[in-house]
Structure 1
Amino acid sequence: MRWEARAAATRLASGDVHGVALTWVDNAGLTRVKTIPVARLAQVAERGVGMSPVFDVYLVDDSMTTSRHVGGPDGDLRLIPDLGRLTALAGQPGWAWAPVDRHDQQGRPYPGCQRLFARRMAALAAEHGIELRMGFETEWIVQRGGAPACTGPAYGMARVAELAGYLDDVMCALTDQGVEVLQLHPEYMAGQFEVSVAPSDPVGAADLAVLVRETVRSVSLKHGLTPLFGPAVVAGGVGNGGHLHLSLWRDGKNLCRDGGGPFGMTAGSEAFLAGVLHALPALLAIGAPSPASYLRLEPSRWAGVFQCWGLENREAALRFIAGAPDDPDGANAEVKCFDPAANPYLVVGSVIAAGLAGLEAGAVLPAPVQGDPAAGDGSADAGPAPARLPRTLPEALSHFDRSDMLRGALGEVLFEAVAAVRRAEIELFDGKSPQEIADATCGRF
């Protein structure tokens, strides 16, 4: 480890990199950091750098709450950088970045570490013979002086022309960092864009979600622009999503295709996705974790507010993409009801836990929906209309509190810390108007 870290430090220093940002994401969805000089990388890779566990109960406004296991000024953790993810930051010259795993002072895995939770769930999937490939879409609204930074129409080439230099710098920075960009395009809201990157393993996908966001942030600031990643910027408007794509693989074969199930799914893929669909009301407390999230979750906005699935249906909470016949990588599923306030490590780990529960139960999917569920009954078999997912964070938290599956997967320390942060943010924003909630959160993530 020390030799690898010294070699990495020498490589970074030769590229005029002087500092390393060590990041983790807290339960409120904020990326926290400790930075070190490059010269200390070898020592920190072996021994870690200290950080209080109280950050696991910080809220979006930097106030703090407490939980049954975490809270108060006592205790210390060691942040251990993952050298395999060490990246020189093209958007922040002089800096490199690495995500961390968190351990206690004796070197034992910290049970509240969200990244270790994601790693643990990916390993559990591997025990079932399943490799998950995942990827997040990153959406943001870019402003200049408090107003949208461009005036072109939704999805319009005019926006690309207005901000061509900025978007080119975003794409080049990501590419220079080894991130494979699949697409970068204008979105619906004024000044809104989305970037999608190639899928990775679950922990890698969460790492990329952090790296992509911080790259967009740094490039935006260099252009004099303000990026807003919150789930709602304008109350009543379409917000920013943080959709998760996933596919299941075994022995090099995509289980989302070439099977006998719906639209070519294998039985294992169907059971996994059925588990995710069943758990969505509780999963919203992970993937839509802020009171602001529920300003975004409105029908007929492609936000996925109904507990249903469908083939290429952008109104379904779970959208299935069958892919082209000659594209074995193309078949996947998309969870649409999540947003950028979510901790991506909690998201990937919790989705895997829900999917494995479905797999172990041999679950099957209900009939798919067609059309907009908000417009009436769109189910393929003319059955009852699908249920609406929770409309508020308290409702989602109620489902989360009752989920033995998530409690068992997360473990008591992490489960209770997540629940405590959700309860405290509900209280924090109680009585606030929708726009006050949006204003207080849109620039925090």
Structure 2
Amino acid sequence: MSESGPVPGGRPGEVERATALSAELSAQDVHGVVLAYVDTAGIGRVKTVPTAKLASAAAWGVGMSPVFDTFLANDAIVTTDVLGSPDGDLRLYPDLDRVTVLSAQPGWAWAPVDRITQEGEPHPACGRTVLRRVVAEAARSYGIAFKAAVEIEWMVGRGDTPGDGFVPAVSGPAYGATRQIELSDCAADTLAALAAQGVDVEQLHPEYAAGQFEVSVGALDPVAAADRSVLVRQTIRAVARRHGLRVSFAPAVLGQGVGNGGHLHLSAWRDGRNLHAGGPGRYGMTAEAESFVAGVLDHLPALTAMTAPSPASRLRLRPSQWAGVFTAWGRETREAALRVVTGTTGVRDRAANVEVKPVDLAANPYLALASVIAAGLDGIASGASLPAETTGDPARLDTAQAAARGVRRLPVSLAESVGAFRADGVLRAALGPVLADAVTAVRRGEIEAAAGLDDDGVAAAYRWRY
């Protein structure tokens, strides 16, 4: 997709390309195409078209109301001064470069969309468009490109559990061989489906919490990485359903215990060189890489409005659970909010990156990546200095030690995150006023929706929404 996005009637050659692609899909017995995007609340929304209508969608888009930008996770609707009414229409344009035949959903293909107005202008609340703009600005102003990946954790539940309860489908210990064996067929089918769809899987393994697994995928440019995150979750869910299982990507499936993360891995590159390796700074970082990490660290409280956007996120963001709930960084320090990953000797020039840990899969991946990149670029622009490294668990620092290192607790409530975001001019400017106001309205709506619920009630309310 062009940096400037789709245009009515299609860009030169697009309709012809879509026509040929439609014929190829039909020859593979694909009957419909899922047009996918993620709303402000982090919920995946779709429209679908028959395969024969793909060329029409590439030319003129598919209609959808702007009201979805102010949907809550429970499908209630809030409003801003320009969004949330029943008026208006948007056009959803599939990115033909990303059309993928869905291995676990026979008869279907999938494509992410960009959204434009009926007048042909970019829709100001389209997260995918915003991310593409932020990435393009980084290239223009700093000569920097990015590679990104989103980790995906989920919990597998029995499909025959009555009501909306959760009973783990496996009983083995954390990271245990028993758990892998118990889910062997489903996990193998997941790997096969992802491979068939061109997804580069680094590893798939049992995780810590009951019934929990994680998949790590290869890095791509940020827009493609966000697309891949959406596609991988669609695939995991579809494969599990074919095995009679139910999966949840919610930040917290239960009121207590470890939740599901969606950690972001990000590295900055210039002229084919990784700025996080081979430099004179700490652990091989260049000065720009250090300033980038410092910028993310400075904006972390406000960033949590995008990276941990649900009331259920607060059930996951607890100290000493590897969720990264303090403004601290460290090399391979899994309790720090920012983990500097150097990689193993011999591959550091390719592997070095920074991991942002206070992120879960209630986050819209496009908004999360756009916001983190904008924060890091602000650090580069200001020449921000990275403070002293934190080792071990920041929760164990006494008050004086924490103050000396600039270590403070990230927001303990969604309301506090929203307040920090409202006060952060850099992040609001990166999203633009329409989307920034939608973020605020949706987060406040979620706060109200969860008011009066205890931890178990919050977990139950969001358990199967993600």
Which category of TM-score, normalised to the shorter sequence, fits these structures? over 0.9
Residue in structure 2 matched with residue 285 of structure 1 by the alignment: 305
Residue in structure 1 matched with residue 277 of structure 2 by the alignment: 257
Residue in structure 2 matched with residue 410 of structure 1 by the alignment: 431
Q: Contact (CA 8 Å) 1:21, 1:34: kept in 2 or not?
A: yes
Residue in structure 1 matched with residue 268 of structure 2 by the alignment: 248
Q: CA deviation at 1:384?
A: 4.6
CA distance in 2, matches of 1:329, 1:138: 21
Give the unaligned 5+ runs of structure 2.
1-13
Residue in structure 2 matched with residue 367 of structure 1 by the alignment: 388
Q: CA deviation at 1:108?
A: 1.1
- Quick one: which of 153, 157, 170 aligns to 2:177? 157
CA distance in 1, matches of 2:280, 2:331: 16
2:277 alignment partner, SS class: coil
Q: Contact (CA 8 Å) 1:233, 1:438: kept in 2 or not?
A: yes
Q: How does 1:329-408 map to 2 (within 5 A)?
A: 329-376=350-397, 383-384=404-405, 386-408=407-429
Answering whether residue 119 of structure 2 is matched by residue 99 of structure 1, we say no
Q: CA deviation at 1:376?
A: 2.1
Give the unaligned 5+ runs of structure 1.
none
1:310 alignment partner, SS class: strand
Q: CA deviation at 1:381?
A: 11
Q: Contact (CA 8 Å) 1:69, 1:416: kept in 2 or not?
A: no
Answering whether residue 11 of structure 2 is matched by residue 11 of structure 1, we say no
Q: CA deviation at 1:402?
A: 0.5
Answering whether residue 461 of structure 2 is matched by residue 440 of structure 1, we say yes
Q: Contact (CA 8 Å) 2:276, 2:289: kept in 1 or not?
A: yes
1:214 alignment partner, SS class: helix
Q: Contact (CA 8 Å) 2:387, 2:405: kept in 1 or not?
A: no
Answering whether residue 435 of structure 2 is matched by residue 421 of structure 1, we say no
Answering whether residue 63 of structure 2 is matched by residue 50 of structure 1, we say yes
User: Per-residue displacement from partner, 1:14-60 (whole Å, max 9, x unpaired)?
Assistant: 11100000011000100000000000000111100000000000001
2:321 alignment partner, SS class: coil
Q: CA deviation at 1:107?
A: 1.2
Matched to 1:136, the amino acid is V
Answering whether residue 84 of structure 2 is matched by residue 71 of structure 1, we say yes
Answering whether residue 207 of structure 2 is matched by residue 187 of structure 1, we say yes
Q: CA deviation at 1:385?
A: 6.6
CA distance in 1, matches of 2:463, 2:364: 15
CA distance in 2, matches of 1:34, 1:46: 16
Quickly say closer, same or farther: Cα 1:378–1:3, change in 2 above 3 A. Answer: farther
User: Per-residue displacement from partner, 1:346-365 (whole Å, max 9, x unpaired)?
Assistant: 01111111011111000111
Identity %: 55
1:316 alignment partner, SS class: coil
CA distance in 2, matches of 1:134, 1:364: 23
Matched to 2:91, the amino acid is R
Matched to 2:317, the amino acid is L
Residue in structure 1 matched with residue 11 of structure 2 by the alignment: none
1:245 alignment partner, SS class: strand
Q: Contact (CA 8 Å) 1:188, 1:238: kept in 2 or not?
A: yes
User: Per-residue displacement from partner, 1:177-236 (whole Å, max 9, x unpaired)?
Assistant: 000000000000111000010000010010000000000000011100000110001112
CA distance in 2, matches of 1:124, 1:377: 41
Q: How does 1:268-283 map to 2 (within 5 A)?
A: 268-283=288-303
2:209 alignment partner, SS class: coil
Quickly say closer, same or farther: Cα 1:380–1:123, change in 2 above 3 A. Answer: farther
Residue in structure 2 matched with residue 167 of structure 1 by the alignment: 187
Q: Contact (CA 8 Å) 2:262, 2:359: kept in 1 or not?
A: yes
Q: Contact (CA 8 Å) 2:33, 2:108: kept in 1 or not?
A: yes
Q: CA deviation at 1:442?
A: 1.5
Matched to 2:432, the amino acid is G
Residue in structure 2 matched with residue 217 of structure 1 by the alignment: 237
Matched to 2:465, the amino acid is R
Quickly say closer, same or farther: Cα 1:290–1:435, change in 2 above 3 A. Answer: same
CA distance in 2, matches of 1:398, 1:236: 26
CA distance in 1, matches of 2:76, 2:106: 32
Q: CA deviation at 1:383?
A: 3.3
Q: CA deviation at 1:382?
A: 9.8
Q: Contact (CA 8 Å) 2:402, 2:408: kept in 1 or not?
A: no
Alignment: residue pair count: 445
Answering whether residue 149 of structure 2 is matched by residue 135 of structure 1, we say yes
CA distance in 2, matches of 1:108, 1:7: 27
CA distance in 2, matches of 1:241, 1:68: 33
Q: Contact (CA 8 Å) 2:15, 2:55: kept in 1 or not?
A: yes
Residue in structure 1 matched with residue 128 of structure 2 by the alignment: 115
Q: Contact (CA 8 Å) 1:370, 1:380: kept in 2 or not?
A: no
For normalisation by structure 2, the TM-score amounts to 0.94
Matched to 2:153, the amino acid is E
Q: CA deviation at 1:322?
A: 1.1
- What root-mean-square deviation, in Å, do the aligned CA atoms of Structure 1 and Structure 2 show? 1.3
CA distance in 2, matches of 1:382, 1:345: 33
CA distance in 2, matches of 1:269, 1:188: 31
CA distance in 2, matches of 1:343, 1:62: 16
Q: Contact (CA 8 Å) 1:376, 1:385: kept in 2 or not?
A: no
1:220 alignment partner, SS class: helix
CA distance in 1, matches of 2:24, 2:128: 26
